[in-house]
Amino acid sequence: MISFEALHAAPPALTAHAPMLLVVGPLIAACAAAFAPTSRTSWMISVTGSIFAAWMALALLGEVARHGAVDYFMGGFAPPLGIAFHIDAAGVLMALLISSAGVMASLYSGHALPAEVRAEKHTLTQAGFLLCQAGLLGMVSTGDAFNAFVFLEVSSIGTYALIAIGEKRDRRALPAAFNYLIMGTIGATFYVVGVGFLFAATGTLNMADMGARLATLGDSSVVQAGFAFIVVGLGIKAAMFPLHGWLPGAYSYAPSLIAIFLAATATKASIYLMARFVFDVFPDGAAFGQGFIAWVLAPLAGTAAIVCSIQAVFEKEIRRMLAFSSVAQVGFILLGLSLATVAGASAGLFYLAAHALMKMTLFMALGGLAISIGARRLDELAGVARDAPWSAAAFAIGAASLAGVPLTLGFLAKWRLVAAALEAGQIWIVAVLAIASLLTLLYIGRMIEAIFFRPAPAGAPRAREAPVGVLAPLWILAGLSLWFGIDASLPEQLANAAGQALIGGAP
């Protein structure tokens, strides 16, 4: 066991304001990055801002372990009048995940950005990246339903343009970004409408207060509609099947910095927000909520896990393959959460973190491989392992983890899901997991076969190994996948506490 209680990562003066600094730090860095005179400076600001956020997340980890959930009242006004940040063990897990993904992505961007984006846009790209990061951090740490919408938009608005600048390599980035903008805005607006209904029923916007008042109010058409709009709205942002149409394009054509970061975090923050509404805000006994989870959410998640894995198998473009795989894996996460038990929720959150790690590894390795040759399709990557062994090896580790090979993090994550499903007596979930894992093996196999065992086409330009600036973060991620596969006490402990916090109502 690791004792988080003893973790004093930051001086007390900073720790006291850590929930706010976690979000405001990257925001200030974003403004500074937009100001920065050169691309290099903006990169340094971006790395600094991300590291600062991760530092604050660590400080919060210690605080939450010592005192339970941390509340921070913006402007000194206690809820329901003021906006409060509310970070419990689950929130800390998400904050750590997002901020460390931010650190890795920003480290990676130092070398990758010049290859993919025009020089005059570097400073603004970094600013947009920091805004997106701050928005996601705000989404997971706020305790106010409307404030969550504001941060949802902070993270989205910059993202739309960041995906669109992938046009330099592939003009399909533009329609993909536009499509995401339309769907994302509809999702966010649905969320606002849903919050409006809950606001109409309770008169408050603070999520804890809302939950307390809903528990006494009972069921009504207004609450049901609010529930439906919130779940559908956040479902769009979380790429919940069948609302995932925007995701493959957005992930495939974005610059690799953005694809890496979004693949690791964007859908997860929305899933987490949705889980908070489903478990914390909506009354526990509400029949429509239970029925919804059992008859709509879980079946759709199961369908996603299988259907999108099949789509990934038949896909030709490698990044689209990974994107479809992401939608399938969102299904896995939701399956875990839909068990509505502590074990299920912690397995779901564990899978969420594990998936973030491995998808990041895969997208980053792919970025490393593709930097020199600009490959899009699987057959163009034939035999690159010969020329870029380090990137390819990291890719293999990420792929093994995704497929659930023993001794990797992915295996443990799947194992926990199966255990939780068995414990809850949901055998069909185990069956779905098994089928989807087999399909995963199939498409992973296709990738590995192409990269490692197929000879490069004659006369094709030789790939080059990625620079050290890319390999370093890449191998940190791959190493973590391996390390946690062997000794998972750290993520397990975090996920267990998070599951407790989400379901048990424990502090």
Partner 1 sequence: MIAEPTFFDVNLAIDIVLLVMLLVVAGAIVRTRSLLTAIILFGIYSLVSAVWLVVMDAPDVAFTEAVVGAGISTIVLLGAILLTRGEAERGDWRRLIAPALVCVTVGGVLIYAATGLPALGDASSPVNAYVGRAYLEAAPNDIGVPNTVTAVLASYRGFDTFGEVVVIFAAGVGVALMLGFGPRASLAPPPQVMGDHHVVLRVAAKLLIPLIALYALYVQFHGDLGAGGGFQAGVIMAAAVILHALVFGLRETMAAVTPKVARSVASLGVLLYAGVGVVCMMNGGLFLDYDYLFPPHIEKEIPGWLLGGPESAHHWGQHFGIMLIELGVLLTVAATMVTIFYGFAGRSVDDAQREAKR
Partner 2 sequence: MTFFLSHFNYFAVAVLMMAGLFIVFSSGNLIKRTIGLAIFQTATGLFYISLGKVTGGTAPIVVEPGSAEARELASRLDPAYLAQHGVDGVVYSNPLPSVLILTAIVVGVATLAVGLAIAVRIREAYGSVEADEIEVLSRVESTQPGPRA
Please, which residue, 103 or 375, has the CB nearer to partner 2? 375
Please, which residue, 215 or 310, has the CB nearer to partner 1? 215
Binds 189, which of partner 2, partner 1, none (CB < 5 to 8 A, cut-off by type)? partner 2
In whole angstroms, the minimum distance from the beta carbon of 206 to partner 2 comes to: 12
User: Which residues from 156-185 bind partner 2, rule CB under 8 A?
Assistant: 157, 160-161, 164, 167, 170-172, 174-175, 177-178, 181-182, 185
In whole angstroms, the minimum distance from the beta carbon of 170 to partner 2 comes to: 8
- The rounded distance, in Å, linking the Cα atoms of 401 and 416 is 14
Binds 398, which of partner 1, partner 2, none (CB < 5 to 8 A, cut-off by type)? none
Type of residue found at 340: A
Selected binder of partner 2 within 199, 228, 286, 469 (CB under 8 A):
199
In whole angstroms, the minimum distance from the beta carbon of 190 to partner 1 comes to: 8
Q: Cβ contacts of residue 305 below 8 Å, gap of 6+?
A: 328, 329, 331, 332, 335, 432, 433, 436
- The rounded distance, in Å, linking the Cα atoms of 103 and 450 is 31
Q: Cβ contacts of residue 459 below 8 Å, gap of 6+?
A: none
Category of 203 on φ-ψ map: left (φ > 0), alpha (ψ -120 to 50) or beta? left
Please, which residue, 377 or 386, has the CB nearer to partner 2? 377
In whole angstroms, the minimum distance from the beta carbon of 143 to partner 1 comes to: 11
Which stretches of the chain bind partner 1, using CB under 8 A?
17, 20, 24, 27-28, 30-32, 34-35, 72-77, 80-83, 121, 124-125, 127-128, 131, 134, 138, 144, 146-147, 150-151, 153-154, 157-158, 160-162, 164-165, 193, 197, 199-205, 213, 220-222, 224-226, 228-229
Binds 127, which of partner 1, partner 2, none (CB < 5 to 8 A, cut-off by type)? partner 1
* Side-chain-side CA neighbours of residue 206 (13 Å): 18
- The rounded distance, in Å, linking the Cα atoms of 165 and 167 is 5
* Side-chain-side CA neighbours of residue 204 (13 Å): 20
For residues 451 and 381, is the Cβ–Cβ distance under 8 A? yes
Q: Cβ contacts of residue 467 below 8 Å, gap of 6+?
A: 111
What do you get for the CA distance between the two ends of the chain, in Å? 20
User: Which residues from 300-339 bind partner 2, rule CB under 8 A?
Assistant: 316-317
Q: Which stretch in 186-194, 408-416, 419-427, 447-455 sits in contact with partner 2 by CB under 8 A? A: 186-194
For residues 410 and 488, is the Cβ–Cβ distance under 8 A? no
Q: Does residue 386 interact with partner 2 by CB under 8 A?
A: no
Q: DSSP letters of 112-159?
A: HHHHHS-GGGHHHHHHHHHHHHHHHHHHHHB-BHHHHHHHHHHHHHHH
Residues in contact with partner 2 by the rule CB under 8 A: 146, 149-150, 153, 157, 160-161, 164, 167, 170-172, 174-175, 177-178, 181-182, 185-186, 188-189, 192-193, 196, 199-200, 205, 316-317, 373-377, 379-380, 457, 460-461
